[in-house]
Amino acid sequence: MDKRIAVCPGSFDPITLGHVNLVRRAAGLFDQLIVAVAVTVDGEKRHSFSLDERVEMATAACADITNVTVESFCGLLVDYCRRQGAVAIVKGLRTAGDMAYEMQMQAVNADLAPEIETVFVLASAQYAHMSSSMVKWLNELGVDVSSYVPDNVAARLQAGR
Ligand code: PNS
């Protein structure tokens, strides 16, 4: 049987323990999970970390999950998924707000590539209130965010404070 590959896309700016929890759980559902770090994101958002830094932090954070690889992608997500032979896009949901936004993304991606299923995984309760933006904001205000991010990310955030 063909390997069932899924893509977990995002900006990962930076990767948090909420992301790692999602990746770990999703990796259990597929033969291979590709964490796909977006070169650019839709809308007005600007990245705090460079692409290389975001890929490097995510790679270190997921190093112990054997069927996970971290890559970067540019352009349309479904084109990237097709090039990778992926059958699914995995997205994490924390809140009803995430749900409203992700349903729209799912509908667009399903129009563009009906053969690729979007799979939603609910965030674990302990991470449901946390986001990369919140982590960066708290860190800038001098709060210790080490319980929300992998060690390598915590060190980098503290160094940049
Ligand atoms: O972590 P984020 O910022 O929520 O990730 C957003 C991301 C990268 C998943 C989204 O911007 C995306 O899919 N971009 C790729 C471009 C694309 O295919 N857009 C159409 C999807 S509706």
Report domain extents, the chain.
5-159
| Sign of the CA dihedral running 109, 110, 115, 119 | positive
DSSP state of 12: -
The residues annotated with a catalytic role in the active site are: 19, 45, 94, 132
For residue 104, which atom of ligand 1 is closest to its CA? Answer: 22
Q: Is the pTM of this model over 0.85?
A: yes
Strand partners, 89: 7, 118
Provide the CATH topology of domain 5-159.
Rossmann fold (3.40.50)
Contact yes or no for 102/91 (Cβ under 8 A): yes
Choose one of 23, 77, 89, 108 to mutate for the ligand 1 pocket test, by most ligand atoms within 8 angstroms of C-beta: 77
With vertex at residue 34, the alpha carbon angle to CA 77 and CA 23, rounded to the nearest 5 degrees, is 110
CA end-to-end span of the chain: 49
pLDDT in tens, 32-64: 999 999 998 666 567 899 999 999 999 999 999
Supply 46's token pair.
């600007």
Q: At what angle do helices 51-61 and 17-27 cross, to 10 degrees?
A: 60
pLDDT in tens, 124-149: 999 999 999 999 999 999 999 999 99
